[in-house]
Homo-oligomer: A and B are copies of this chain.
């Protein structure tokens, strides 16, 4: 532990964060106490506290004086598009679903805007996200073919904990990003989109477009979400929470 580079608090943070994402500590359980963690990591309590504070402010953990640190979620609301649809629906006691529409491969014949960002050889994954069976969002995810070699429909379960495309891409293909840009704009439902979302043509919709980059400035993926429902933020305190509405 003490021979790796970088500050200790960062190494402890990275380790704990990885454990959380690997399910080593599951949601609702309690973490070891500060003293215990300090002992196992061979750092001072102040240092382990610093790491825990980071995880708390990011929303992974909640700290309760006199009790301990509780695992709150594995998908904290770090952004809008990167927020797990699955988690937020589950928290409301409803049933999230994801119906795969199609996986299409493009080779130079993709729309120009996407082509410019991600390159020639592309995959488009179209999915319909549902709540209690009702269609809520149409999600188009674009990826360079090279990054997701051998992707098939089997990679996308219709129900369960692993519907999140981000978790699929991260777990199955090791896809990671460091920076992302999201825009929200307005549009009206086309014939095709209206059919999928079961709304009349010309209905005003929200479009969330999210582009994610890795450290080398390469574009990792591009995602477009069409939704009829508003986007809600709860602001206040240090943390922010997107809610499904």
Contacts and interface: CB of A to CB of B under 8 A. Distances in A.
Nearest to A203: B186
A91 interface: no
Copies of this chain in its oligomeric complex: 2
A179 interface: yes
Contacts of A230: 183-186
A103 interface: no
Given A184-B231, A188-B188, A236 B206 contact: no
B186 A78 contact: no
Tell me what chain A mostly uses at the interface: helix, strand, loop, or mixed: strand
Interface in A231-245: 231-237, 240, 245
Interface residues of A, number: 29
Interface in A75-129: 78-80, 82
The 9 closest A-B pairs by CB, nearest first: A179-B236, A185-B230, A186-B204, A180-B235, A79-B235, A186-B186, A184-B231, A183-B230, A182-B233
Interface of A: 57, 78-80, 82, 178-188, 204-206, 230-237, 240, 245
24 contacts: A57-B57, A78-B235, A79-B233, A79-B240, A80-B233, A178-B236, A180-B236, A181-B234, A182-B232, A182-B233, A183-B231, A183-B232, A183-B233, A183-B245, A184-B184, A184-B231, A184-B232, A185-B206, A185-B231, A186-B186, A186-B204, A186-B205, A186-B230, A206-B206
